[in-house]
Every structure is written in structure tokens, then in C-alpha cells.
Amino acid sequence: MTKAEIVADIANKTGIEKVAVQAVVESFMESIKETMVNGENVYLRGFGSFIIKERAEKTGRNISKNTTIIIPAHKIPAFKPAKSFVNQVKENVK
């Protein structure tokens, strides 16, 4: 499902114009991004958490040059679904 499909679905279910729904969805995503860039996690009860994971430093290989490189420690955004969400997907997706 794309962002446009999400906007259309919400507009159909609520009766709100697509332009207004689009603005809300864009604002929601921007708010999550800004919060995570500032180093904070976002918790949505019953849905899941947008968290910042820390990756440890590790050794990698450049196959084309056959050399070893060090990949420095870094942080990445991740999504951790709520248990109720995971259970719904397990039960209903075949």
C-alpha cells in the first residue's frame, strides 16, 4: 500500500477531503522523523514503536578489492510492532 492509497482510504472512511488527509499524513510522518532525528523514540500504543537502534562496529569485506574494512558503529531507525499487532497479522495473513 502506498502513501496515496493510505490517504485515499482514510478519506473514504472519514469523509474528509483528500487534501486535508494528505496534509495530516505528511505532518504525522514529518513529526516522527523530527523526533527520531532528535534522538527520541516514538511510541504508539497498540500499533508499535519507532525506535533508534545502535549497530556495533564490525568488520566487513570489499569483495572486488579483496580487502577488509571497518564499518563504524552507527544508529538506524527501526519499527517494532506491538504484540497485539503482530498477533493480528499472524492470525489473519495466510
pLDDT of amino acid 93: 82
74-81 vs 58-62, strand pairing mode:
unpaired
Alpha helices in 1-94 (DSSP H): 3-14, 18-37, 83-92
30: its cell numbers: 514529518
> 0.75 cut: is pTM over it?
yes
Domains of the chain and CATH, by start: 1-40 (4.10.520.10), 52-94 (no CATH)
| 15-64 pLDDT tens trace | 999 999 999 999 999 999 999 999 999 999 999 999 999 999 999 998 89
pLDDT of amino acid 12: 96
**Average of per-residue pLDDT across 62-81:** 94
Is-contact 49 39, C-beta < 8 A?
no
